[in-house]
Amino acid sequence: MPKIIYASFEIFFDDEFFVQRKKILKELEMKYSSDVDTVIIQDPRREKLLRDVNNFDEKTKFVHIPVSPMPSESPETTTDVHKEFGIPRDKKIAVYSGSLQGWSGISEILDLFPEKWNYDYWFLIHSHHRLEADNPVKKTLDRLIGSGMPITIHDKPFYEYKDYASFLAACDVGFATYFPNPLDIFAGKNIQVIGLSSGKFSTYMMLGLPAVTTNHKTYAELNRDYSFGSIIDTPEDIPNALRVIGEDIESMKQNCKRLYREVLDPTKNIRSIVDYIERGTRA
């Protein structure tokens, strides 16, 4: 019988399915998990979570591979983000790149304007999905930008990774914020234990971009050991988090790259699982 290798990127929980017809996903996962030979999961915490809600055999092997880009050199030249978007040269750039769904915390970050934002920074938002005119986030952005707040929205996709990396590397701080909510099967406990399944966080680290992250256990431990940026409990902690990073930003950039090399570089374990698969196909 062929061996089944299960790569898990999202963890589903039976009690978080509010649309009954979608429960077939969980039913199929439970049915086939007992036949799985090897599971690819991002880190030990997510492994435990996945084990708890599935039917794996005690002999099932687990391989930890972070959701992370393969190593590449920092871009030789970076996008002149200040010039391209008309951002004043005296402003540092804090970038949020990714989904603008509720769990991202984008609405709460925008609520910091105008009274509480750290005005040493310009807030640059990148999402490759253009918001509809009636989207509440879009309406808030239009109102704030119209009133002169230091916010720019970049809603065009990057078709080449090198261009995306060049864009991010031109910024000063990146947001990797995850606020769980019960609105769908992806945003509850799956987000609560995001761990090393955030490709956003890993990309920031590879590029040496200090990050503001929410206070998940994995991030708290990594920041204690590597000082990659600043941890927040609530969005209202963001202004101070940006101040803390700004005071030590050059050393934090190097810390980020070291964290990537020592924890997030997926090369070794990817090679290991590929070798395992190839040995199986030759057997």
What pLDDT is recorded for position 182? Answer: 80
Q: Give yes or no for a contact between 130 and 155, defined as CB atoms under 8 angstroms apart.
A: yes
Structure tokens at 43: 């880190």
Write down the pTM of the prediction.
Answer: 0.92
Mean pLDDT confidence for 228-235: 97
Q: Give yes or no for a contact between 192 and 233, defined as CB atoms under 8 angstroms apart.
A: no
What pLDDT is recorded for position 76? Answer: 65
Model confidence pLDDT, tens digit, residues 155-193: 988 998 889 999 999 999 999 999 988 877 888 889 999
**pLDDT-above-90 percentage for the chain:** 76
Phi, psi (5° rounding) for residue 104? Answer: -70, -20
What pLDDT is recorded for position 282? Answer: 63
Model confidence pLDDT, tens digit, residues 88-102: 999 999 999 999 999
Q: Which CATH architecture has domain 81-264?
A: 3-Layer(aba) Sandwich (3.40)
Mean pLDDT confidence for 55-81: 87
Handedness of CA 31, 36, 41, 44 (dihedral sign): positive
Q: Give yes or no for a contact between 195 and 42, defined as CB atoms under 8 angstroms apart.
A: yes
Q: What's the CA gap between 111 and 41, in Å, rounded?
A: 35
Check whether 262 has a pLDDT greater than 80.
Answer: yes
What pLDDT is recorded for position 74? Answer: 66
Domain ranges of the chain: 4-65+266-282, 81-264
Mean pLDDT confidence for 204-221: 96
Check whether 20 has a pLDDT greater than 80.
Answer: no
Check whether 146 has a pLDDT greater than 90.
Answer: yes
Confidence class for position 213, pLDDT limits 50, 70, 90? very high
What pLDDT is recorded for position 216? Answer: 93
Q: Where are the alpha helices (DSSP H) in 147-196?
A: 161-169, 189-192
Contacts of residue 190, defined as CB under 8 A and 6 or more positions apart, other chains included, come to 10, 11, 12, 13, 180
User: What value does the mean pLDDT of the chain take?
Assistant: 93
Mean pLDDT confidence for 120-130: 94
